Amino acid sequence: MPLLEVKHLKKIYTTRFGNNPVEALKDVNFTVEPGEYVAVMGESGSGKTTLLNILAALDRPTGGEVLLAGTPTSAIPEAKMAAYRRDNLGFVFQDFNLLDTFSLRDNIYLPLVLAQKNHTEMAARLEPIAKQLGIADLLDKYPYEISGGQKQRVAVARALITHPQLVLADEPTGALDSKATESLLHVFEEINKAGQTIVMVTHSTRAASHAGRVLFIKDGVVFHQLYRGEHTSAEMFQKISETLTVLTTGGNSVE
Ligand SMILES: Nc1ncnc2c1ncn2[C@@H]1O[C@H](COP(=O)(O)OP(=O)(O)O)[C@@H](O)[C@H]1O
Ligand SMILES: [Mg+2]
C-alpha cells in the first residue's frame, strides 16, 4: 500500500470579497511509496506550499483527498488533528521555526513533551538522532548561538524524534548557504537511506537532484515526473534543468 495517496486534489482560495478566486491546485494526483524521497518543484506561485499544507493537514482541500497509510485525513476529527499531525508527520520549514528561549535540546524535545513522553524515552530517542545529525555537542546551546545550517539540523532532529511516517519539508535549504545546503542534503539522503519517507518542496535544482523522484507542478496539475533510477545527482541535475526549461517556456522564469 502506498504511504501517501493524493487523489484529484483541488484548492481554490476565495478572498473575503469573493471577487477573484485563485485556483492554486486543479487536479493533483500522485502516490508515494514507503521509503521514497520525493522532491516537488514548480515555479513560484504554482501551489507547492498549498500542496504541502494540505498534505500536512494544516489546510483543507476544496476537492479531492489525501490518504496517509490508507486513512483519509478528512476522516480525522478537528479535535484530534493536532495529535494526528504530531504522531504521524515531521515538518522542516525554510525558516527553521525554533524557539529562541528554549535550548536546542528542549526545542527537539518539544513534540515529545506535547505527546507526554517521559524524559528517559526522550533522551533515548534523541541520542542516535543527534549523533547522526552531528549536533550532539550543541544541545545545550540556544538557537541564536548557532549557524543557519546547524539550526536546520536541529529542526530536522525535531522532525525525526517522533519517528514520523512522513517528513514534509518546505524549501528546507532556502535560507542556507551552499555549504550548509550540501550538508543538509546529505543528511536527508542519509535519513532516507535509513528508511525515512520524505516529501520535499524546493525550487532548488541542486536540492531536487538528490531525491529519488521529482514531481513538477504547473497549472495546478502534476505536469511531469522524473525518476532518478540509476542516475547520479549530476545527471539528475541536468535532467531537472532540461525539464524546468520546458516547464517555463512561455512562462515566467523559475526563481
Ligand atoms: N491564503 C491564501 N489566500 C489566497 N491565495 C493564496 C493563499 N495562499 C496562496 N495563495 C495563492 O495560491 C497560489 C499558489 O501559492 P503557493 O502555494 O504559495 O505557491 P508556491 O509555494 O509554489 O510559491 C498563488 O497564486 C498564491 O498567490
Ligand atoms: Mg512556497
Residues 103 and 71 in one domain: no
Please check whether residues 66 and 175 belong to one and the same domain: no
**94 shares a domain with 185:** yes
Q: What is the mean pLDDT of the chain?
A: 92
Which residues make beta-bridge pairs with 67?
5, 72
Which of 10, 43, 50 to mutate to test ligand 1, by most ligand atoms within 8 A of the CB atom? 50
Gap from CA of 74 to ligand 2 centroid (Å): 23
CA distance 253 to 251: 6
For residue 255, the model assigns a pLDDT of 43
Predicted TM-score of the model (pTM) = 0.92
Nearest Cα residue to 54 out of 85, 96, 92, 95:
85
Ligand 2 centre from 49 Cα, in Å? 4
Structure confidence by residue, pLDDT tens digits, 234-249 = 999 999 999 999 888 7
Q: Look-up: residue for cell 531537472?
A: 240
Per the DSSP assignment, residues forming a β-bridge with 38 are 199, 213
pLDDT of 19 reads 72
Q: Is 173 in the pocket of ligand 1 (CB under 6 A)?
A: no
Q: Is-contact 154 78, C-beta < 8 A?
A: no
Q: Residue 13 CA: which ligand is closest?
A: 1
Atom of ligand 1 nearest to the CA of 11: 12
Query: What is the C-alpha radius of gyration for the chain, rounded to an integer number of angstroms?
Result: 18
Tell me if 60 is assigned to some domain.
yes
Would you say 230 and 217 are in contact if contact means Cβ atoms under 8 Å apart?
Answer: no
Shared-domain flag, residues 22 and 106: no
Asked if residue 30 is part of any domain, the answer here is yes
Residue 204 in any domain: the answer is no
16, 23, 44, 49, best to mutate for ligand 1 pocket (most atoms within 8 Å of CB): 49
- Cα(215) to centroid(ligand 2), Å: 15
Do 89 and 43 lie in one domain? The reply is: no
The DSSP letter of residue 63 is: E
Q: How far is the CA of 215 from the centre of ligand 1 (A)?
A: 18
How confident is the model at residue 93, as a pLDDT?
87
CATH of the domain at 194: 3.40.50.300
Q: What's the pLDDT at 206?
A: 92
68 plus 133 within the same structural domain:
no
Distances (CA, A) of 178 to 82, 145, 185: 34, 20, 10
Only one residue has cell 527537539, namely: 108
Q: Of 56, 75, 94, which residue constitutes the final position of a domain?
A: 75
Per-residue model confidence (pLDDT) at position 249: 77
- The pLDDT of residue 216 is 96
Q: How many helices (H) and strands (E) does the chain have?
A: 8, 10
Say which residues have a Cβ less than 8 Å from residue 179's Cβ, sequence separation at least 6. Answer: 149
Q: Judge contact between 167 and 117, C-beta under 8 A.
A: no
Report whether pLDDT(252) > 60: no
60 and 6 fall within a common domain? yes
Residues 87 and 71 in one domain: no
Q: Residue of the nearest CA to atom 3 in ligand 1?
A: 13
Q: Which atom of ligand 1 is nearest to the CA of 42?
A: 22
Domain that holds residue 4: 1-75
Mean pLDDT of 220-246: 93
Tell me, yes or no, whether 82 and 165 share the same domain. Answer: yes
- Rounded to the nearest angstrom, the distance between the alpha carbon of 53 and the centre of ligand 1 is 11
Percent of the chain beyond pLDDT 90?
82
Q: Is residue 162 part of a domain?
A: yes
